[in-house]
A and B are shown apart, each in its own frame.
Chain A
Amino acid sequence: MRRIFVVIGLEVMAVFLAVSQWLQGIHTDEAKYVLNIPYPHPPLARFILSLTDGWAYQELFWRIVFSTLVIQAVWLVRDMFKDRSREEKVYACAFWLLSPAVLLQAGSIMMAPLTALELLVFVWLYVRARRVLGETGKAGDIWRIRDMWIGLWWLASLFTAYQAVLFAPLAWAAFRRDTPWRARMAVVYVALPLLLLALYTFTNPLSLASMALKQGQGAAGTLADKLHGALLLWAFGGGVWAVLGIAGIFKWKQWELILTFLLITAYTALSYFGYYAILFTPLFVAGLAQFRLPRLWMTILLVLQVGLMKLYFLPSGYPLPGPARAVMQEIRNNHLQGFVLIQGSFGHDWQYESVFPIRRYKKSLEKDAQAVVCLPVCTEKIDETRWRQLAVAEPAKVYVKFAPPQ
């Protein structure tokens, strides 16, 4: 019965995180996935998202689903500490739930939280297998999960986001190799999805073009920049517990875990984005499991974590989305028809928020347009005898046509 209350409590937290993100508006990257725009990731998650594109509250629905998955994943964390005291389990769960990356990203419709969940499952399998091996000394049927399911999970992970390739060492470790047949099949289970991903990539030149465009992005920084970026991602990934997480990964001396950690660090150093922080959180859980700290220490760390969360992580979090939702709401209130023309650089969030077709501004399109949006200033002059400016929040300037005479 108590467990049901905990599940409900966690769900309340998940809905709160999702709604708080929903109220801020949609980011361009999120809109890209919801609109199923075929770059830069493989199709599995965005195809599933696109099945609901007719729903009125599609964005809110998926925010709640993603948030629920990330928050309820705490049960896997708890299971990793199965042989520990109740207190230690609570601290481990608190680590997951109060990790800055989990709090800031749980309600976002991005591939990074999904990839982190997929990684968490592989970390869970790894920790669980090592624990059973430590207890019994026998490989045997320690997983009780069929290799087929692990293979399909690996396939699904790769077809969610390319970053899943980085945890290939843990995927390799997840398969049983205690008989010659299983050893051969482990190679097939790991390699075949990788080959299929390569095949998919060649059928989608947009992915290749996107990779070529982003190649070396972030590689230009100095070593100090990269170190700063890595420290920031680790801090967001684990908060004050990140130190214990990293120390634990190396203390445990399991090459699959260390290699995965190094691969993710190297990848994020070459291609830095704040939302990759959550990829470190599952690895830090495994690292944390290598320590048995006294209750006093854990309480001090927990208080520090909460304090830093309020003072630093939440305020500095991730950039807020642009003004697309507010602007489109204002334009809809005018009850006109026609294109919305945009001057300046704009993202997919404008496409997602608009019920009218969006076009890049051209003078010749003005006659069929109902509104012109300038981001942030109008580079081409707007004739204010034909267009009136709406009062909307900066940085956008919005003009709508004078309503036709009744």
Chain B
Amino acid sequence: MRARLLRYWQQCWQSGIFLAVCLILFVLYGYRLLAILPLYTRAAVRMNVQKQLQQFASERGVLVSSLMLRRVTDTDMTIIQREYKKGPDDEQCVRIVFASSSVTSCDASL
């Protein structure tokens, strides 16, 4: 009986040390994950904005360049206004107004 208790005790303290190390890492990284969760949220919103922008342009038969997509910054979370017009020389232009800036691009290289 005593030997068995001793064996259980040995197994428990060994597992306990391992679990304690894991718990420390879990708290450390869990806390860090909570701190950076908003980053992931913003990245998701940003991807959504880019998707909308591409959809908006493709509905009107124009291409959205990667340059324009890069202009969608983290602060440009909301598209306030989207405009499509024919330019002075029949260029196809898309003007998109974001919360903090506006982007206008013309012709097929848009």
Contact = CB atoms under 8 A, between A and B. Distances in A.
Contacts of A146: 14
Given A192-B22, A205-B36, A148 B14 contact: yes
A148 B15 contact: yes
Contacts, number: 43
A181 B14 CA distance: 13
B36 A181 contact: no
A185 interface: yes
Contact of B22 (A185, A196, A203): A196
A211 to B, nearest CB: 15
B87 interface: no
Contacts of B36: 203, 205
Interface in B1-33: 11, 14-15, 17-19, 21-22, 25-26, 29-30, 32-33
Contact of B26 (A147, A152, A199): A199
Contacts of A199: 25-26, 29-30, 33
A143 to B, nearest CB: 13
Given A148-B15, A196-B26, A196-B29, A205 B39 contact: yes
Contacts of B30: 199
B57 to A, nearest CB: 24
Describe A's contact surface by its main secondary structure. helix
A193 interface: yes
Contact of A193 (B15, B22, B39): B22
Contacts of B14: 146-148
A47 to B, nearest CB: 12
Contact of B18 (A152, A202, A203): A152
A155 B29 CA distance: 15
A155 B39 CA distance: 28
A199 B32 CA distance: 10
Contact of A148 (B17, B26, B33, B40): B17
Nearest to A146: B14
A196 B18 contact: no
Contacts of B33: 199, 202-203
* Residue from the set A148, A188, A193, A205 with the largest chain B CB neighbour count within 10 Å: A148
Contacts of B19: 188, 192
Contact of A203 (B15, B17, B29): B29
B41 to A, nearest CB: 12
A96 interface: no
Interface in B38-91: 39-40
A291 interface: no
Contacts of A202: 33
Contacts of B40: 205
A146 B25 CA distance: 21
Contacts of B17: 148
A107 interface: no
Contacts of B25: 196, 199-200
Contacts of A205: 36, 39-40
Contacts of A229: none
A148 B22 contact: no
Nearest to A147: B14
A352 to B, nearest CB: 27
A192 B19 CA distance: 9
A192 to B, nearest CB: 5
A207 B69 CA distance: 23
Contacts of B29: 196, 199-200, 203
A334 B101 CA distance: 46
A148 B15 CA distance: 6
A189 interface: yes
Contacts of A151: 18
Nearest to B12: A181
A155 B11 CA distance: 19
A203 B21 CA distance: 18
Given A147-B15, A155-B18, A188-B15, 12 more contacts: A148-B14, A148-B15, A148-B17, A152-B21, A155-B21, A189-B18, A196-B25, A196-B26, A199-B29, A200-B29, A202-B33, A205-B39
Which A-B residue pairs are the 5 nearest by beta carbons?
A: A148-B14, A203-B32, A199-B29, A151-B18, A203-B33
